[in-house]
Amino acid sequence: MKRLVEDGEYSKADHNTLSKTALRLDLEAEEITKLRLKEFEEAIIPFKARIYQTAYVTDDDLDFLRALSHKLDLKIEQDPLLKICRHIYLMEVKKENPLVPSSSAELMLEKGEKLYLSMPSGWSQIRVKTSGYAGLSLSLPTGIRGVRFRLGQLTPLRNEQLTLLAEGVLHSTSKRLLFIGDRRNTTVTLGRIVGTSLFSDAVEIEKSTGRSDYFVMTALYGRYVSAVIQLLKTAQCADF
């Protein structure tokens, strides 16, 4: 197979040669296709590794995929994750808007407001929890049934914990970030978002007032949501 595509394409002559070889070896047409698919999968191993590391699909990457498709005479269906990486590249590097407005029956959008992103997520915030008490205390009888003197002081031990508030769907529109959950909802306008931070399992939305919101998702989707927010904020500022 490698010898047949050394010239950069899988031509009709190459196909006929492979078919004759397959006939001699008693191979089915399906097995020939499997050989071409195997060649394709081996060729894109380093390609996919680099893309998932950078989260970018560049113009050169698309040229590579088209050339490989032509070379092996295969119709390549784009992986949804590769499409996300392509969008991230366009938004972060080329400052282009690849987003297409969609619709949702459950959302009441304002006039002129457009929906660009909807995805399952969980909404969390950092809350202070009491985990116990520390200190010394002495209890003395008073002589009155059921009443005692207590000397000393107990101090509650508090710590911050990331607390899941609801699970539901996160929406990003041209005006706000909206979460509709199974127990509660929340919304934050783009103007109140001052920044985003990425984690391996969530994206943090930093606001001008109030606690930060954390939305549960993979690192790649977090990068995508962050890029969408920054693009829409820039577009919103340009409108004024």
For 76-115, write each residue's pLDDT tens digit: 777 888 899 999 999 999 999 999 998 876 788 888 899 9
End-to-end CA, the chain: 58
pLDDT digits (tens, 9 = 90+) for 13-70: 555 555 555 555 555 556 666 766 776 777 778 888 888 889 999 999 898 888 877 7
Q: In sequence order, which residues have a C-beta less than 8 Å from that of residue 50 and are 6 or more positions away?
A: none
User: Residue 107 has what pLDDT?
Assistant: 84
pLDDT at 10 (0 to 100): 43
Residue 71: predicted pLDDT = 73
- Distance separating alpha carbons of residues 210 and 226, to the nearest angstrom: 19
Q: Which of 121-130, 152-161, 219-228 has the highest mean pLDDT?
A: 219-228
pLDDT at residue 4 in the model: 42
Q: What is the pLDDT of residues 136-174, one digit of tens each?
A: 666 666 666 666 666 566 666 667 889 999 999 999 999
Question: What pLDDT score was predicted for residue 151?
Answer: 58
CATH fold, domain 115-129+161-238, is: PH-domain like (2.30.29)
Long-range contacts of 19-24 (CB under 8 A, 24+ apart): none
Q: Residue 99 and residue 111: Cα distance in Å, rounded?
A: 19
Q: Which residue has the higher pLDDT, 15 or 126?
A: 126
pTM: 0.73
CA-closest candidate to residue 124, choices 196, 195, 184? 184
Parse the chain into domains and list their residue ranges. 12-92, 115-129+161-238
Distance (Å, whole) CA 224 – CA 56:
11
Q: What is the model's pLDDT at position 147?
A: 62
- Tell whether the model's pLDDT for residue 196 goes beyond 70: yes
Beta bridge partners of 152: 137
Residue type (1 letter), 12: K
